[in-house]
Structure 1
Amino acid sequence: MTELSVVEICAGAGGQSLGLHLAGFQHRLAVELDRTAAATLKTNLRRLQPDDNVDDIVRVGDVADEEVWKPEDFRNVDLLAGGVPCPPFSVAGKQLGSADERDLFAWAVEAAGRMEPKAVLLENVRGLNDARFAGYRQAVIDRFAALGYTAFWDLLEAKDYGVAQLRPRMVLVALRPEYVEYFGWPKKQPKARKVKDVIGDLIGSNGWRDEYLQRWLKEADRIAPTIVGGSKKHGGADLGPTRAKRAWQELWTDAHGLANEAPGPDWNEVDHPRGPKLTVEMVARIQGWYGPDYDHWVFEGLKTSRYRQVGNAFPPPVARAVGESIASALRKTNKPEDIPAPLKVHDEVYRLLRDHDGPLTADRIQKLLGDSLSVEEVVARIDVLRRDFIVEEQQRGGRKSYVLGDWKAFRGQEDHGRHAVFAQARSRAKVS
């Protein structure tokens, strides 16, 4: 079959890139802010696309910087894909959403409008599925509809697609109308991989005493917690916050840092009561770089950087599964039995305020919703919406009414505060 084309934003070290390549997509462009991750992507794309000028395909810089690329230059590619920054939605942070200058989700939607691809694939952390972001999700779906796409959200867990960890991710797929009836979410695999299955050979490769190896194999006969890549602001490489470390302890694995090599014959339980530490290569396998199609990926940089590249990646098997579903839809090869329902309303309060011509009181909203929410709950929902949208208040006859204003999210506005933040970052980079 002819290869399909993809432009990938916030590409990282290439977890999604590899998965999409295995699903039949060729990169026309990949944009990444981190130089070391971009170097990793270049190294590996040279192998995957040997006939292309990879130095031009992989561009380093802020994806929203028009000097790095212009969406209009890549009109009518088959797919726009990306894993836009997670901190605005992560429960590990403040969940600032639109108020976080790193939020690029809404910008990616507008980029799709400028590019007019046949399909869009965007993924982010599970926190985006929280009630806190119901209005945000609704705005994304509605904006895609205005641009001529049908968009679907779903929460996918990596363990269901051949990855030995939980790693739930919110995934959005948007399609042009002619492809919608051919799309279905990828089917889950009946049996999940366990940690011992994917790294058992590695952890015992350095002469580790058999009594320890057998104990570890027994304890590691389960799915790993979500790998956490972390950021440059927060220390070195370890396997996550306190809760994750406790989960790793149940696998008799020390999550307080990484090892340079597998445990050897001199390793003993007295000095290492938490169990052995994992290497970057082991973590990469748990993240999905496991098996003949995946395990030749080379990560550039020092250990901590390589670990962050692995930990922040979209697991390649999940990207491949979703990519194959999109490719099947674009090629119209078959009609799945279970087509996702596109009409789900994520936030009915948002929808009412958006569609109503004029202000609405909380009482009126409650009545229009058929009393499914109390007045107090309606007011609480409006207060949540204020975090991502401008909500104007008006007083009429002693009663407060509301009008939904603009989405605060960065969509490319020239007067948005994100420009100042990133201008400062570029200045610091030039000085250093």
Structure 2
Amino acid sequence: MNSVELFTGAGGLALGTHIAGFRHRGLVEWDDDACETLRRNVKARALPDIHDWKVHQADVRMLKFDIFGNKGGVDLVAGGAPCQPFSLGGKHQAQEDARNMIPDFVRAVRELQPRAFIMENVKGLMRESFRNYFEYIRLQLINPDLVIKKDETWREHHYRLEKLETKGNKSLKYNVVVELLNAADYGIPQTRQRVFFVGFREDTELAWHFPKPTHSRAALMHAQWVTSTYWEKHRMPRPKEVPAYAVRWTKGKAEPLPPGIAWKTIRDAFDGLPDPRDERKAASIPNHRFIPGARSYYGHTGSPYDLPAKTLKAGVHGVPGGENMLALPDGSVRYFTVREAARLQTFPDTWHFEGSWGETMRQLGNAVPVELAAVVARSVLEELRGQGSH
């Protein structure tokens, strides 16, 4: 099945949909370094069957989507519109922010009329202060044909969409479901929460739900502090000092085996990677250069080795990026290398990143975890296959 990827960035969502079984007609991205990352990996064939990926370096607002085919000829449109307007680290301007590209995702759905779409964004989009705008986004995706008029405010457009929704739309319409997913619950070594909007064109008459979580924090606690199988797997003794969050699991009471597979931790993700402070060993690993200067301070204490990482941020210093650090067992901290951050985002080790350390960390901080994208996309593809493919 074919797809079009918008706001591709370093390729997290694009890789996930590719791994799931979609084949891209085109990837759209405007950032120079992100485009270089994509082009280098396509040229190097970093994954099988990506040699024909065509990267369109363009401002999506200026793009005519008919270059990807006729209406209805695309199976999937996917993309993560820039999240700065809704990010906790941003200015929280939402619809007033010039970087808000969600209207152009809606335009792509309107012009291509795919059988399905996947759009993701940051958890901040669901904040109470954005509640009305969140509903406005959902109504636009349900009714992409009802276009905002010249000089019409988004609130006025919202009112018209509400009327259409209650009256019934007889033109292009999508059945849309929205869910906040925690990446750790699906086997990603990071507690990254992202909002996913998934829609199916109404005439497909398909019934779909989000994949159920497969991993759990409780299962990790059980493996670490009840059975100790976690420590045995890593060939190390169980720590004598028990962290405060795990004390209840060491009370001596028989804890029943929790459902699901244990959350993956940073230690799990970094298995096989040499310590970047050992320059001789780390030199053979692409994007695995040690960056000095990390420090811990209030609100920025790093991520413990034996839990999933905190959410990677699209920055390197201060409020946006201070948490892109590993908290070592001796109490010290250090920055994640690019390769380590890529592991936390479940990019394959064959995927190389272009740009300075700060730029590559920005690419990674903005990315969708590859394996989370694959879980959602694989479920969508399986549903679409019930109708056959183009």
TM-score by length of 2: 0.67
How many aligned positions are there? 287
CA contact (8 A) 1:72 1:115 kept: no
Matches within 5 A, 1:26-45: 26-45=23-42
Name the CA distance, whole Å, in 1 between partners of 2:29 and 2:108. 16
Correspondences of 1:4-403 after superposition (within 5 Å): 4-46=1-43, 47=45, 48=47, 53-54=52-53, 57-66=54-63, 69-71=64-66, 73-75=68-70, 76-146=73-143, 147-179=172-204, 181-189=206-214, 190=260, 191-204=262-275, 219-230=304-315, 237-238=316-317, 241=320, 244=323, 251-252=327-328, 274-289=332-347, 294-332=348-386
Residues 252 and 206 of structure 1: is their aligned pair in 2 closer, same or farther, counting only changes over 3 Å? Answer: closer
Secondary structure at the residue paired with 2:313? coil
State the structure with more CA Rg.
1
Structure 2 contact 177–198 (Cα < 8 Å) conserved: yes
Separation (CA, whole Å) in 2 of partners of 1:224 and 1:196: 10
Shift, 1:96, TM fit: 0.9
How many Å apart are 1:155 and its aligned residue? 0.3
What is the DSSP-based 3-state SS (H/G/I as helix, E as strand, rest coil) of the residue aligned with 1:41? helix
1:229–1:310 Cα contact (<8 Å) kept: yes
| Post-superposition offset of 1:178 | 4.5
State the SS of the aligned residue for 2:335.
coil
In structure 2, the CA distance between the partners of 1:174 and 1:238, relative to structure 1 (3 Å rule), is: same
Report if the CA contact (8 A) 2:25-2:68 is conserved. no
Query: Quick one: distance in 2 between partners of 1:71 and 1:238?
Result: 41
Higher mean displacement: 90-99 or 179-188: 179-188
Shift of 1:41: 1.2
Q: Alpha-carbon deviation of 1:28? A: 0.4
Residues 306-364 of structure 1, C-alpha deviations (whole Å, 9 max, x = no match): 2222221111011100101110111128xxxxxxxxxxxxxxxxxxxxxxxxxxxxxxx
Identity in percent: 33
Partner of 1:400: none
Contact 1:162 1:288 in 2 (8 A): no
- The answer to whether the Cα contact below 8 Å between 1:148 and 1:176 also exists between their aligned partners in 2 is yes
Shift of 1:201: 3.1
1:304, 1:39 → 2: CA distance?
15
SS in 2 for 1:64: helix
**Distance between the aligned counterparts of 2:49 and 2:182, measured in 1?**
33
Gaps of 5+ in 1: 209-217, 231-236, 254-268, 334-432
Instruction: Report deviation, 1:180.
Output: 5.3
Q: Give the Cα–Cα distance (whole angstroms) in 2 for the partners of residues 125 and 198 of structure 1.
A: 23
Decide whether aligned partners of structure 1 residues 241 and 13 sit closer, same or farther in structure 2, where only a CA change above 3 A counts. closer
For structure 2, which runs of at least 5 residues remain unmatched after alignment? 144-171, 215-259, 280-302
Tell me the secondary structure at the aligned position of residue 196 of structure 2: strand
Change (3 A) 1:59 1:132: same
Q: TM-score, normalised by structure 1?
A: 0.61
RMSD between aligned alpha carbons? 2.7
